[in-house]
């Protein structure tokens, strides 16, 4: 009878040290995985700028071939005789044109998702692709659009 009582009184479950070890392992995994995940999300958003800038450049060059001059303005409205429309599907970047003349243009994409310093990509009539600004920890480049923190293009 005494052995039967002892079996009922024996504790079951986890000890405090086992719970602490589990929490520590989860914390270490999260410390490694979360920064990598946020970098992945950022890199996926950069695709929008590269795609829209390449599309805008193509449309600018097509306009030049048709009219022997670059457009006078870039607007959010539909394309007309003297202007080119900016990307309407922009979710993470805002777009602008500068240095517009008969022989030159520059299209700039500035991100809208970074809290402080923004990604700024641009392209010009010579197809010079630049990353002129990036958040801390990211490289910039005078001759390509960066895709990774290391400065890879």
Encode the chain (153 residues) as per-residue pLDDT tens digits.
555 555 555 667 889 999 999 999 999 999 999 988 988 999 999 999 999 999 999 999 999 999 999 998 888 777 667 788 888 888 999 999 999 999 999 999 999 987 778 899 999 999 999 999 999 889 899 999 999 988 888
Tokens of 129: 């692709």
Domain range annotation of the chain: 15-133
CATH 3.30.700 fits 15-133, yes or no: yes
Q: Let me know if 56 is exposed, middle or buried by CB neighbors in 10 A (0-12, 13-18, 19+).
A: buried
Output the pLDDT for position 65: 94
Q: What is the pLDDT of residue 2?
A: 56
What confidence score (pLDDT) does residue 90 get?
Answer: 86
Please report the pLDDT score of residue 89 as a whole number: 80
pTM for the whole structure: 0.79
CA angle at 123 for the pair 120 and 124, rounded to the nearest 5°:
135
């Amino acid at each position: 009878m005494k052995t039967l009582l002892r079996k009922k009184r024996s504790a079951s479950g986890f000890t405090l040290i086992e719970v602490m070890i589990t929490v520590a392992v989860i914390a270490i995994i999260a410390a490694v995985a979360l920064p990598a995940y946020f970098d992945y999300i950022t890199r996926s958003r950069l695709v929008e700028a590269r795609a829209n800038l390449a599309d805008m450049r193509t449309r600018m060059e097509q306009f030049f071939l048709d009219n022997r001059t670059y457009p006078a303005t870039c607007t959010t409205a539909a394309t007309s005789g003297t202007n080119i429309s900016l990307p309407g599907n922009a979710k993470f970047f805002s777009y602008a044109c500068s240095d517009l003349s008969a022989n030159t243009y520059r299209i700039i994409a500035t991100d809208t998702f970074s809290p402080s310093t923004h990604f700024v990509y641009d392209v010009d009539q010579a197809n010079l692709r630049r990353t002129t600004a990036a958040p801390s920890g990211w490289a910039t480049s005078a001759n390509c659009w960066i895709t990774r923190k290391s400065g890879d293009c």
